[in-house]
Amino acid sequence: MDINYNEFEGREIMEPILKIQNIEKYYGSRSSLTKALDGISMDVNAGEYVAIMGASGSGKTTLLNVISTIDRVTSGHIYVADKDITKLKGNELNRFRREELGFIFQDFNLLDTLTAYENIALALSIQNVSPKEIDERIKKVAKELSIKDILSKYPYQMSGGQKQRVASARAIITNPKLVLADEPTGALDSKSSKMLLERFNYLNKELGATILMVTHDAFTASYASRVIFIKDGKIFSEIERGDDDRKEFFNKIIDVVTLLGGDLNDAL
Amino acid sequence: MMLFKLSLKNIKKSFKDYTIYFFTLVLGVAIFYVFNAIDSQTIYMDVTSNMAEIIKLMTSMLSGVSVFVSFVLGFLIIYANRFLIKRRNKEFGVYLTLGMSKKKISLLLFFETLFVGLISLVVGLGVGVMLSQAMSLLVANLFEANMTDFAFVFSTSACEKTLLYFGIMYLLVMIFNTINISKCKLIELLQSNKKTEKIRLKNPVLCTIIFILSTFTLGTAYYLVTGGIDHLDNANKIFIPIAMGIISTFFIFWSLSGLLLKACMSIKGLYYKGLNSFTLRQISSKINTTVFSMTVICLMLFVTVCVLSSALSIKNAMTANIRELAPVDVSFSKYLYHENSVFDVNTPQAVLDDAKVSLKETLKNHGIDINETFKDVVEIPVYRIEELTMRATLGEQLDEISKKFKYLNYDNEETIITVSDYNKIAKLYGNETYSLNDDEYMIIADFDSMVEIRNMALNEGVSITINDKTYHPKYTECKDGFVEISSNHINDGIFIVPDHAVEGQIPFHELMVANFKETSREGKNRVNDMINKKINSAWNETTLTSVNTKIEITDASVGLGGLVTFIGLYLGIIFLISSAAILALKELSESTDNKERFQMLRRLGADEKMIHKALFSQIAIFFMAPLILAIIHSIFGIKFCIFILETFGRKGLLSSIIMTSIFLVLIYGGYFILTYICSKNIIEEN
Ligand SMILES: Nc1ncnc2c1ncn2[C@@H]1O[C@H](COP(=O)(O)OP(=O)(O)O)[C@@H](O)[C@H]1O
Ligand SMILES: [Mg+2]
């Protein structure tokens, strides 16, 4: 299957919000070198919903980590809104993270000592937003993600799906240019997964959030508008949803997965 | 052998966790050695026989205190060890699932305890031996002794004692571990890392009520030991406030942990600023689960501050007192024959004969050549008169005073000295001299509570009658001074009257003060021993003459000062180490949880500076909470100590409080910084 990069003329060409140019990430010493990322290039446009798929160990988390500046690339460049983030240092990195990015992780999402409200508020108070504005913005996002009733609960009192929705609220409340999600449905049952993914669609479609999501699950990936497959640190293939409905897109994804060599779930 | 290697590897791996534990063990061993090695250092010091006695007393007291100290350290070590084990429950769980038997895990822990124990003993003894060399300078300084020779001292007995005591402690730890491992269940071990700790906010109304109640109780306790106390005649007067203090301390921490968070949460601008909400939650959850330890730590700090500052101020006051209160080398005092006096039918004839001659005569009769031995001799008579009892000197004030001070004997006859006699002594001592009109009297005193009583009468202008003549007070208060040399302010009042007032009266005492002609230290010691031998042995055999020498007074003061200083230091340092170590271990034991939390904050984009600030304030507040309450306790505790130690005076108090603060800052502050650095390392490692 070939990469069909510019196939969709229907969509207007937008300025990419994320530009990745030939990045490499090596782990270990010279004798036992792991090329976790091996020359990856890709763009994500504003308002896009991109899923990255690959087997366990293919380099998905590493890719997300270098984009989120939690880790550094060995070589190559990453531009977020025309800013080369591989050149950022110290507190510039922290500012970039808190102002431009939102994160949602598989687990270890929320601070266990804080309530849902306080967890969400933290993302804003770090940015010195006033308590009054914090309150207004939380009320708004809580309505959009239907977590109003659990705002005063602690993480140990919430279900997995509720936790992920609180984490999503926290990720988008700062109006980030890019929301990064690493296996967001990994710890959820299928019903909660579906609910969360529908919320992601809402964030993407209605609120215009740009989402980059990493997953090994074809069902999860089928909610995205574009899926990029990586294998051994390289981009293997890429498909766009276009006008397909989710079912059709899911089948296409499964085709690629089969091509990649079996069920990704088994490879976990 | 495999276990042996595994345990070594474990220690290496968890060295960061062990740092504080190891540091505490080393410090404990070193301090234990240093204080038990003190006696072997005094061997090289040139001290008088009196001083040697006091040092002997001190060493036996120190070894008694050591038993207590070993209990404190024993508890601390077992407690600290429990923390480390808890942190590794998951690891043991994995060993168990891999098929390792509980016996083997116990053995593994046994080896680990053995290694850590051995290394800490070796390092601790090394540090101790080094510290004790510096200590010998302190010992010589405190006992004001000359070091005959600076010798490197190693105390075998202290070393053996340290090995024995700590050996027993480590053995107890091993037994404790074995029991612990054999009792635990695999499922609990594996799940012990899961944080299912419930966060419960306390009812704020209940907290407020309890807080108000306990503050009130504490205030009452404070009042009872300071303003509300004028004499101690009943142990309950001190135990009841102490019990009240302990209980209210516990409940203050209990209620504050709930209230503080609630209060901060209501100030939105504060709570939702930077990482404040996170930091406050961290602190409150920690204080919530550690109310009991907080109380114990607070009380230990309180005891430390009181013991250290009282001990140091006793020492300071004693040294300062000697210079002031013993301005001459010797004072003699002899009972002269008097009908209503100490003489009775059992008094030997030789004593009766002696009581009729002058003091100079007595000394000559006992083989002391006054002209050869002494210079600056002043000899004065001291009078007592039947009609001048304390009751008679208080006038109208008697009722009020006797109500307040029930236990004074108001029928004691007062001491009287004529003004010209007093001036002779005052001149020799370099004290102020006075002159009186024919109908005036004044009182010289330096014992605070008696000064207070007498001032009440003087202030009212109470006049006294001696031989049918009336005298009015010249001053409205007592004047500071004394005639007999002593180590403390114990002059409870001498009536100074015009010379004619006691004319023709037979003196009650005869007092003689003088300096030694000898000027060298050895010479003075020799004369001192000679006088003591000749006069003290003759008491109630051939004379009723008593003698006080500056050297004796100095030795007793300096010796006692040194003794309380060492015991205070020993206990103070051990208490400080224990409380700081408990706090440090509590903080570090949560570092794994904290690491994840801080990692999360980083992902949210918190600056390193913000994170360090949050960590710092979290640890600082955790360390400060018990300290602040302990300091408030101490303000009143020290007031109470001053009350008890009144006769020592309060001159040295400020400098002793400064010294105590230095110890606090060094040890407690040191642990705080170490905890911060260790926590920072833990949350920063990847
Ligand atoms: N910190 C690290 N040190 C060494 N190798 C690593 C590290 N992190 C990841 N790797 C290696 O890089 C590769 C990609 O890992 P990762 O990005 O976590 O994969 P994925 O998230 O797709 O499962 C794997 O082979 C993994 O072993
Ligand atoms: Mg991964």
In angstroms, rounded to a whole number, what is the distance separating the alpha carbons of residues A58 and A264? 11
Domain boundary, last residue among B497, B529, B554: B554
Looking at beta carbons, which residues of chain B come within 8 Å of A126?
274-275, 601, 604-606, 610
In this model, does residue B359 exceed pLDDT 50? Answer: yes
Instruction: Say whether residue B200 is in contact with chain A using an 8 A CB cutoff.
Output: no
pLDDT band at B193 (very low <50, low <70, confident <90, very high): low
In this model, does residue A65 exceed pLDDT 80? Answer: yes
Note the pLDDT of residue A5: 44
Looking at beta carbons, which residues of chain A come within 8 Å of B599?
108
A95 → chain B, closest CA residue = B605
How far, in Å, is the centroid of ligand 1 from the Cα of A63? 10
How far, in Å, is the centroid of ligand 2 from the Cα of B343? 103
Any idea which of A59-73, B227-241, B416-430, B441-455 has the lowest mean pLDDT? B227-241
pLDDT, mean of residues A16-28: 90
Domain boundary, last residue among B195, B214, B239: B195
In this model, does residue A7 exceed pLDDT 80? Answer: no
Number of domains in chain B: 2
Q: Work out the mean pLDDT of chain B and round it to a whole number.
A: 83
More reliable by pLDDT, B15 or B123: B123
- Please report the DSSP string for B195-226 in residue order: ------PPPHHHHHHHHHHHHHHHHHHHHHHT
Number of domains in chain A: 1
In angstroms, rounded to a whole number, what is the distance separating the alpha carbons of residues B272 and A118? 8
**A36 touches ligand 1 (CB under 6 Å):** yes
Q: What is the CATH number of the domain that holds A131?
A: 3.40.50.300
In a domain, A17, yes or no: no
Note the pLDDT of residue B371: 83
In a domain, A197, yes or no: yes
In angstroms, rounded to a whole number, what is the distance separating the alpha carbons of residues B123 and B25? 9
B283 → chain A, closest CA residue = A113
**A222 touches ligand 1 (CB under 6 Å):** no
Instruction: Say whether residue A72 is in contact with chain B using an 8 A CB cutoff.
Output: no
Report the candidate in B454, B487, B78 with the shortest Cα–Cα distance to residue B319. B487
pLDDT band at B398 (very low <50, low <70, confident <90, very high): confident
Residues A233-266 have pLDDT tens digits of: 999 889 998 888 888 999 999 888 888 775 555 4
- Tokens at B332, concatenated: 């003699």
In angstroms, rounded to a whole number, what is the distance separating the alpha carbons of residues A86 and A77? 6
Instruction: Say whether residue A91 is in contact with chain B using an 8 A CB cutoff.
Output: yes
- Tokens at B77, concatenated: 């070590």
pLDDT band at A22 (very low <50, low <70, confident <90, very high): very high
More reliable by pLDDT, B135 or B632: B632
In a domain, B85, yes or no: yes
- Tokens at B417, concatenated: 């000295």
Chain A: closest CA distance from residue B279 (Å): 10
- Termini Cα distance of chain B: 32
| A-to-B residue pairs, Cβ atoms closer than 8 angstroms | 94
Note the pLDDT of residue A10: 41
Chain B: closest CA distance from residue A160 (Å): 14
In a domain, B53, yes or no: yes
In a domain, B609, yes or no: no
In this model, does residue B252 exceed pLDDT 70? Answer: yes
DSSP code, position B535: I
Q: At B77, is the secondary structure helix, strand, or coil?
A: helix
Chain B: closest CA distance from residue A16 (Å): 23
Residue ranges in chain A assigned as alpha helix (H): 60-67, 90-100, 116-125, 131-144, 160-172, 190-205, 218-221, 246-261
**Most informative mutation of A24, A25, A26, A27 for ligand 1 (most atoms within 8 A of CB):** A27
Note the pLDDT of residue B198: 63
Phi and psi at residue B28, to the nearest 5°: -60, -50
In angstroms, rounded to a whole number, what is the distance separating the alpha carbons of residues B545 and B354? 9
How far, in Å, is the centroid of ligand 2 from the Cα of A229? 14
Note the pLDDT of residue B192: 59
Residues B144-172 have pLDDT tens digits of: 766 656 667 788 888 999 999 999 988 98
In angstroms, rounded to a whole number, what is the distance separating the alpha carbons of residues B145 and B74? 35
Looking at beta carbons, which residues of chain B come within 8 Å of A96?
605
Note the pLDDT of residue B354: 76
How far, in Å, is the centroid of ligand 1 from the Cα of A73? 13
In a domain, B268, yes or no: no
More reliable by pLDDT, B324 or B13: B324
How far, in Å, is the centroid of ligand 1 from the Cα of A61? 7
Q: Whose CA is nearest to atom 26 of ligand 1?
A: A57
Q: Which of B35-39, B488-492, B506-510, B577-581 reaches the highest mean pLDDT?
A: B577-581
In angstroms, the Cα distances linking B3 to A206, B82, B91, B173, B410 are 61, 21, 14, 19, 79
More reliable by pLDDT, A265 or B470: B470
Neighbours of A187 (CB within 10 A): 17
pLDDT band at B194 (very low <50, low <70, confident <90, very high): low
pLDDT, mean of residues B429-455: 88
Residues A38-53 have pLDDT tens digits of: 999 999 998 899 999 9
- Tokens at B85, concatenated: 């084990």
Note the pLDDT of residue B29: 93
Same-domain status, B190 and B330:
no
As a 3-state breakdown, chain B gives helix, strand, coil percent values, each rounded to 5, of: 70, 10, 20
Looking at beta carbons, which residues of chain A come within 8 Å of B600?
108-111
Cβ contact (<8 Å) for B605 and A108? no
Instruction: Say whether residue B595 is in contact with chain A using an 8 A CB cutoff.
Output: no
Note the pLDDT of residue B657: 84
Q: Looking only at Cα atoms, what is the longest distance across chain B? A: 105
Q: Which atom of ligand 1 is nearest to the CA of A37?
A: 14
In this model, does residue B346 exceed pLDDT 70? Answer: yes
Cβ contact (<8 Å) for A90 and B608? yes
In a domain, A82, yes or no: no
- Tokens at A263, concatenated: 């069920």
In a domain, B590, yes or no: no
In a domain, A9, yes or no: no
Chain A: closest CA distance from residue B557 (Å): 57
Residues B494-535 have pLDDT tens digits of: 999 998 888 888 888 888 888 888 888 788 888 888 888 877
The bound ligand whose nearest atom lies closest to the alpha carbon of A184 is 2
Q: What is the ipTM of this complex?
A: 0.77
Q: Whose CA is nearest to atom 25 of ligand 1?
A: A57
Q: What is the DSSP pairing of strand B413-418 with strand B374-389? A: antiparallel
Count CA atoms closer than 13 A to B667's CA, side-chain side: 24
pLDDT band at A267 (very low <50, low <70, confident <90, very high): very low
- Please report the DSSP string for B641-684 in residue order: HHHHTGGG-STTHHHHHHHHHHHIIIIIHHHHHHHHHHHHHHHH
Any idea which of B30-44, B62-76, B413-427 has the lowest mean pLDDT? B30-44
Chain A: closest CA distance from residue B602 (Å): 7
Note the pLDDT of residue A4: 45
Length of chain B: 686
In a domain, A81, yes or no: no
Looking at beta carbons, which residues of chain B come within 8 Å of A112?
195, 197, 593, 597
Note the pLDDT of residue B163: 92
pLDDT band at B606 (very low <50, low <70, confident <90, very high): confident
In angstroms, rounded to a whole number, what is the distance separating the alpha carbons of residues B370 and B359? 11
In a domain, B63, yes or no: yes
Length of chain A: 268
Note the pLDDT of residue B191: 64
Smallest Cβ–Cβ distance between B268 and the set A108, A113, A131 belongs to A131
Q: At B3, is the secondary structure helix, strand, or coil?
A: helix
Note the pLDDT of residue B389: 87
In this model, does residue B249 exceed pLDDT 70? Answer: yes
In angstroms, rounded to a whole number, what is the distance separating the alpha carbons of residues B63 and B59? 6
In angstroms, the Cα distances linking B218 to B227, B251, B497 are 14, 10, 49
Domain boundary, last residue among B164, B195, B226: B195
For residue B105, give its domain range: 1-195
For residue A258, give its domain range: 47-72+90-263
Note the pLDDT of residue A21: 93
In a domain, B645, yes or no: no
Smallest Cβ–Cβ distance between B277 and the set A99, A103, A122 belongs to A122
Q: Strand pairing partners for B487?
A: none
Q: At B561, is the secondary structure helix, strand, or coil?
A: helix
In angstroms, rounded to a whole number, what is the distance separating the alpha carbons of residues A18 and A81? 6
In a domain, B619, yes or no: no
Any idea which of A3-17, B44-58, B387-401 has the lowest mean pLDDT? A3-17
Tokens 């018990």 map to which residue? B626
Q: Which of B35-44, B192-201, B273-282 reaches the highest mean pLDDT?
A: B273-282
Note the pLDDT of residue B650: 59
Cβ contact (<8 Å) for A125 and B277? yes
Return all residues near B415 (Cβ < 8 A) that are at least 6 apart.
Answer: B382, B383, B384, B493, B494, B495, B508
Report the candidate in A228, A268, A218 with the shortest Cα–Cα distance to residue A248. A218
In a domain, A22, yes or no: no
Q: Strand pairing partners for A75?
A: A24
In angstroms, rounded to a whole number, what is the distance separating the alpha carbons of residues B646 and B321? 13
In this model, does residue A9 exceed pLDDT 50? Answer: no
Tokens 């913005």 map to which residue? A137
Note the pLDDT of residue B449: 78
In this model, does residue B648 exceed pLDDT 70? Answer: no
In angstroms, the Cα distances linking B456 to A63, B396, B479 are 88, 10, 14
pLDDT, mean of residues B612-621: 91
